[in-house]
Copies of this chain bind each other. A is one copy, B any other.
Amino acid sequence: MPTSRFSGAPSAGTAPALSLHQALAIGTPKAVSLWLDVVDDPIERADQLGDLTEAEAVRLTELLTVPEAVDLLDTLDLHTAVDALRIAPPARAGAVVAHLETDRAAELLRELDAAESERILGRVPADRAAVLRGLLRWPEDSVAAHMVPDVIAVDDSVTAGEAIQQVRDHSAKLRQDSHIGAYVFAVADDGRLRGVVSFRELVLADEGTLVDDLCTHEVVSVTALTDQEEAARLLVRHRLLALPVVDDADHLLGVLTADDAADIVGEETTEDAERQGGSQPLDVPYLRASPFLLWRKRIVWLLVLFVAEMYTGNVMKAFEDELDAVVALAFFIPLLIGTGGNTGTQITTTLIRAMATENVRMRDVGRVVVKELSAGSFVAIAMAGAGFVRAWMLGVEVQVMVTIALSLAAIILWSSLIASVIPLVLKKLRVDPAVVSGPMIATLVDGTGLLIYFWIAKLTLPELAGL
């Protein structure tokens, strides 16, 4: 059988040789099996599954063998996989869940409500169901909820040869997860984690060598309730293939594997990006989000920002006389507040990302503010020059040119200050700084920027002196 190879070029536009519709129309297990061979890209598979009618989807669950269903559920995106599980007859779903990798099975069951999940777990062998129920009890954001509980642990006092025999004995009971094959963990008599050795080193070592001598004893581990994202970043930072999860007494509970860590990093970043853009995280793949869901995730922040932005109207109204006296002042309003918003957005996105990847911590507040105000000063000087030129191009009087240049500089410095301070203050208050979006900073700068503008205008323009 040929290996499936993905080249650098996107394959967009080429229709697959066999569609799932066609395979189901043929209606034999062999046709569905052939479709799985032909269409091996998970996204393409999910796409075609999404187009099925409910009747077709049920028919599909009947035609797939259990290993095929396991393979399919393993690679599909979470939401498509959960839908597939929901639609399958419970006995069928139970058989598949029993054979899925443990962390994946728990991930899928977690998306179902308790009744649905129990209906399926009732059809899963009791010991396996117990393991899965155990995982489902951990909070969703904790690393324990995402760990593989079936780890290979051996006594730290045995030899390499004895350890391999222990692994062999365990293996009959253990799940055939390729994910857990990388490391063997050594535990002391009292069950505490003592060290780690790669399975390969264990096998290649002299049989009589003590496991304790082969092990690395400086094991990086996390406790069960550690935030999943923090654990994932720790794994990446230490370049591990699996990160052991322990309880408070240092007993080994399971491992977080590197592929799951990559998944967690990706998901958390998507949520952060959506928040940065000023909406609530979608939580479902974009193409599956209905217009109504998009509306619901966006309208709250739009209304909050709208209300926050409303006082720009009051500011404008308060300076109505000034606007009347020098109507040219109005020309520059969008430009001034737009530039202020852009400056702030640049700073918060860079800063929040840096905080998420933990380069920036609370004690760095001073450095951050000094750095941003220094950079902001350079920006202010350059943009003041640009503003002066622009005002000159519009043919306004010299005092207005000066007003524009000074206002731009002041608004940029003000925007730099609040854009760098607010995320750090939120972090101090233990609120995720990722809630600060570009639109939020832009809105804050709009109204306050107008105030700065009109104040500077009153100080600079003789026409406004008496108003």
Contacts and interface: CB of A to CB of B under 8 A. Distances in A.
Contact of A7 (B101, B223, B286, B343): B223
A51 to B, nearest CB: 12
A241 B227 contact: no
B198 A302 contact: no
Contact of A295 (B359, B378, B438): B378
A369 B32 CA distance: 33
A447 B338 CA distance: 11
A222 B450 CA distance: 54
A386 B310 CA distance: 10
Contact of A335 (B276, B313, B335, B348): B313
B5 A286 contact: no
A43 to B, nearest CB: 6
Interface stretch (A18-26, A86-94, A230-238): A230-238
Given A302-B339, A335-B312, A5 B250 contact: yes
A318 to B, nearest CB: 10
B341 A442 contact: yes
Contacts of A250: 3, 5
Number of copies: 2
A466 interface: no
A379 B295 contact: yes
Contacts of A176: 201
A126 interface: no
A17 interface: no
B225 A8 contact: yes
15 contacts: A3-B218, A4-B218, A4-B220, A164-B203, A171-B204, A241-B257, A241-B258, A257-B258, A285-B354, A286-B359, A287-B354, A291-B371, A306-B390, A334-B337, A342-B439
A316 to B, nearest CB: 4
Interface stretch (A52-60, A117-125, A323-331, A456-464): A323-331
Contacts of A303: 382-383, 386
Contacts of A265: 262, 265-266, 269
A172 to B, nearest CB: 9
B334 A323 contact: no
Q: Secondary structure at chain A's binding surface: helix, strand, loop or mixed?
A: helix
A110 to B, nearest CB: 17
A134 interface: no
Interface in A297-353: 298-299, 301-303, 305-306, 309-310, 312-314, 316-317, 320, 323-324, 327, 330-335, 337-339, 341-343, 345-351, 353
A215 to B, nearest CB: 10
Given A266-B357, A291-B375, A334 B450 contact: yes
A30 interface: no
Nearest to A101: B239
Given A262-B236, A330-B323, A199 B181 contact: yes
Given A5-B222, A257-B258, A292-B378, A287 B386 contact: no
A12 interface: yes
